[in-house]
Amino acid sequence: MTIKIGVIMDAIQNIHYKKDSTLAMLWEAKARGWTIYYFEQQDLFVRDGKAFGNTRILNVFRDPTHWFQLDKYQCIELAELDVILMRKDPPFDLEYIYTTYIVELAELTGTKVFNKPQSLRDINEKFYTTWFPKLCPPTLATRDISLLRAFLKEQKDIVCKPPHAMGGTSVFRVQESDINASVIFETLTQQGKCFMLAQRFIPEISQGDKRILLINGDPVPYALARIPAAGELRGNLAAGAKGVAQPLTEQDLALCKAVGPTLRDKGLLFVGLDVIGNYLTEINVTSPTCIRELDEQCDLNICKLLFDAIELKI
């Protein structure tokens, strides 16, 4: 029987062909002979308690000038699908949450959804590190500007970021002598109306912000160290960082062992941990990336490992 797999993602015509991890997943689905059903968020709807989608059959190719082909629209009940991949990029906003409600209705009928919709809602990629305080640098999550000023005075050098963005958007390094500190706090909290996170600055960022991929709680043996560009703080590929593959260290493996079982228990099949130095800084669950870079540099096939894990759960 042919497996029917749905993918919910941003517009496929706008992806970065050479780097996109979702495209690698779709190639693997095609290699296994699975039928791929393509959805964007606006294609989904609920009628009388059932989840539906206006979908198109998707074919994918290893061709940088023609990497996809879509068939004509058809409406299906999501319960017809064996698997759904939730690969919509942040921002994590109300529209994203509504989408998880829809795919959770499909999950209730027996369709396997990765990552699990409830866990996508429960686990904010920046906030959830606070569940593992022994693995993290000193961290403050607040909308209280006076607490942020006190934290800066205590730590001397901090990194501030919003909890809902991705790709290094609105990430600031703030030092005790920075005359713009109050402006940054006011901007990120929108004058105390929104939460933000502050963490002690980790100097090892110069050696890279490591992305470690977990499949069903177990790590891929190599991490991608994203080394900031000259004059940059952010270790994000979207911000110009260079990705260099590195074998996992003993400390990396210990960190994965501490975090992995909890993520597995929450139905998070594919997760990206961000590690700077020996510290966990983010737990990425919405649409982790870096598959393509690690595959190319380390002669891996990460999506084969991922889809082997999916097949065990179907």
Which residues of the chain are in CATH 3.30.470.20 domains? 204-306
- The pLDDT value recorded for residue 1 is 65
- Domain 204-306 bears CATH identifier 3.50.50.60: no
**Residue tagged 């759960």 (tokens):** 313
The single-letter code of the amino acid at 168 is: G
**Per-residue pLDDT tens over the stretch 23-59:** 999 999 999 999 999 999 999 999 999 999 999 999 9
Annotation says 186 is catalytic: no
pTM of the shown model: 0.93
Best CA proximity match to 225, nearest among 249, 201, 254: 249
Residue 241: pLDDT band (50, 70, 90) is confident
Exactly one of 112, 126, 210, 292 is catalytic; name it. 126
**Per-residue pLDDT tens over the stretch 242-288:** 899 999 999 999 999 999 999 999 999 999 999 999 999 999 999 99
Report percent pLDDT > 70 for the chain. Answer: 98
State how far Cα 68 lies from the chain centre. Answer: 23
Mean pLDDT of 106-130: 96
Average per-residue pLDDT for the chain: 95
Phi and psi at residue 2, to the nearest 5°: -75, 130
Annotation says 242 is catalytic: no
Look up the CATH architecture of domain 138-201: 2-Layer Sandwich (3.30)
State how far Cα 258 lies from the chain centre. Answer: 19
Distance CA 269, CA 33 (A): 21
- The pLDDT value recorded for residue 223 is 97
Annotation says 121 is catalytic: no
**Per-residue pLDDT tens over the stretch 143-187:** 999 999 999 999 999 999 998 877 778 899 999 999 999 999 999
Annotation says 284 is catalytic: yes
- What fold characterizes domain 4-115? Rossmann fold (3.40.50)
Q: Is the dihedral of CA 200, 180, 237, 115 positive or negative?
A: positive
Exactly one of 88, 210, 226, 292 is catalytic; name it. 226
Number of Cβ within a 10 Å radius of residue 274: 22
Residue 137, preceding bond cis, omega within 30 degrees? Answer: no
Query: Does pLDDT of 128 surpass 70?
Result: yes
Contacts of 20 by beta carbon, 8 Å cutoff, 6+ apart: 289, 292
